Structure 1
């Protein structure tokens, strides 16, 4: 699908969609484990139309509800005709709604230590969304925060044939990730004052250092370089917005394979423009609304 076609369909859905979301909660059995997710659908999804789907991954120790509250994707995307899904990771306390993590290989917690097949779970979830919820297989998007951002990277790599674009927020890469077989557009957001995901890489910080396997992170800039290399992009151009409060690095990429990286100068380990992930969490910067820029980026990209 070409970019003009993606925008045309997006505009059509914006006009047709109802402002209220059809709320639901689902479960999916994968590898013998019941996995939970929250789904918000526009009224238009009841018609015979294929609509975009955004998968939002919570951070380590979070859950589906915290991801929805923190990002505000439901309020923004559903009125514009998009499905928004908030799946949950796993924990050793299966009946608890919190303390969930994702297996991003080198992080985090229970999911990493038990080598949970989160890639398989999300792949099966995408298949269900396409088969049962009118999701357009060419317009599947994944975003997430922290551990969810690391998982977003992993999904973009291992499910590159199913995902059109990714949006990791305050996450990182470790340097041993394979190049994906298919291009995936990427918008990456980090905070320069993030102590959990250090700007210059190295050992992770934060309150739960034992949730990692000890593999040091690459510098935040490596994420953009990785996806630029995967997408066949050229050199990057740097600019600034909001009076220098946000630095933007844009790579020269082939059409439909864009890579853009945002660095929030006073941003910590939080979702910019959103709500705090926990009472002890960093206060989100207001210099950037990550949900808005990611949503716009997603709507401009579809798999060809």
Structure 2
């Protein structure tokens, strides 16, 4: 199982119709917790309906209502826990998959869970081998979206290129393509959260047993509903090291939190509202940060002061509405990389 955190498990809000673009489905109400007041959409500030229907971002920013081992170096084993390579640095501990006889293949995976047919997509980095453990990035689409939002090459959501030599990517699919179904009664949402948490636990357990993963560096990212559910994972699952989210609101009850992730949060100037501000401030406070901050790269970003050593929190404002911004993918990659690059 997991080395650093026991399994109890970087993706976007509404039950929209078809996913129009790679930008991912958009989020939801804009209110924290289970409230569902409308938020500003990416159509340059036009208000969404007050019935909490989500929006889905298009490529131009418009939205539509409703996303160990066996390798050796210089004669020394380099993959087992505590061993060192020829650099003299201790390698991160690898998951059971580093010595497994079978491996999870790249591409689409399907299985039955809780009476539902579930699927997700695996993308392996260039040069993947079991000679070293790899970071794992979970990338969650928005409500009304699908895994294609992140499983793309080119454009602002091209995480495959960003992490092509760095990390394993897993792109899950939500039940009915919505991490929170605003067309369903609100009293059904908590049960849906539990089903999805079991789904992520199953995915992560499968991945760590069949791929060589650095269990200290498992991340979740997402836009809109996928960002909101990344917050659920960061709050309720100890195996998440950090989250990176755009346009998210709170889906969980704060008293349910068992873990504190590092957090990178972006909100568009045209979608900024109390719900998204509450999401940002919750994770900032959870990490022990002060409300004060200092400028951080890229432009428009700040790093909050006095956060926990392992739980930095960065906030980035962008000039758009409810879309994954052009700075998002590179900034997410840099944020996650800060945890594993020195290992």
Same fold (TM over 0.5): yes
1:147 aligns with 225
1:125 corresponds in structure 2 to: 203
Q: Distance in 2 between matches of 1:172 and 1:123?
A: 22
Displacement after TM superposition at 1:247 (Å): 4.6
Q: Is the 8 A contact 1:56 1:142 kept in 2?
A: yes
Matches within 5 A, 1:1-304: 23-69=106-152, 71-80=157-166, 82-91=167-176, 100-103=177-180, 108-109=182-183, 113=188, 115-116=191-192, 117-159=195-237, 161-173=238-250, 176-178=253-255, 180-194=257-271, 199-201=272-274, 218=275, 220-239=276-295, 246-264=300-318, 266-273=319-326, 289-301=327-339
TM-score, reference length from structure 2: 0.62
C-alpha deviation, 1:30, in angstroms = 2.0
* CA RMSD across the alignment: 2.9
Shift of 1:143: 0.5
Show structure 1 runs of 5+ residues with no match: 11-21, 92-99, 202-217, 274-288
Q: Which residue of 1 aligns with 2:35?
A: none
Q: Report the counterpart of residue 278 of structure 1 in structure 2.
A: none
The answer to which of 245-254 and 225-234 deviates more is: 245-254
Structure 2, unaligned runs of 5 or more: 5-86, 93-104
Per the alignment, do residues 75 and 175 of structure 1 end up closer, same or farther by CA in structure 2, a change over 3 Å counting? Answer: closer
Report the CA distance between 1:175 and its aligned residue: 8.3
| TM-score when normalising by structure 1 | 0.69
> In 2 relative to 1, CA 129–259 (structure 1 residues): closer, same or farther, beyond 3 Å?
same
How far did 1:231 drift?
2.0
Deviation (angstroms), 1:171: 1.1
- Partner-residue secondary structure (3-state), 2:198: helix
Greater relative contact order, per chain length (Cα 8 Å cut-off, separation 6+): 2
Rounded to whole Å, the distance in 1 between the matches of 2:270 and 2:250 is 17
Change beyond 3 A, Cα 1:200–1:86? same
Give the CA deviation at 1:132.
0.6
Contact 2:127 2:165 in 1 (8 A): no
Find the residue that maps to 1:79 and give its secondary structure.
Answer: coil
- Structure 1 residues 42 and 176: alpha-carbon distance in aligned structure 2, compared to 1, 3 A threshold: closer
Please state how far the C-alpha of 1:140 moved relative to its aligned partner.
0.5
CA deviation profile, 1:249-297 (whole Å, cap 9, x unmatched): 5232121111111111x21111111xxxxxxxxxxxxxxx211111111
Conserved 8 A contact 1:149-1:168: yes
Structure 2: distance between partners of 1:157 and 1:38: 24
Mapped to 2, the partners of 1:73 and 1:165 lie a distance apart of 16
Which has the larger share of helix? 1
- Relative to structure 1, the CA distance from residue 200 to residue 66 in structure 2 (aligned partners, 3 Å threshold; closer, same or farther) is closer
How many residues are aligned here?
Answer: 236
Asked if structure 2 preserves the Cα contact closer than 8 Å seen for 1:179 and 1:230, the reply is no
For residues 238 and 118 of structure 1, what CA distance do their matches in structure 2 show? 36
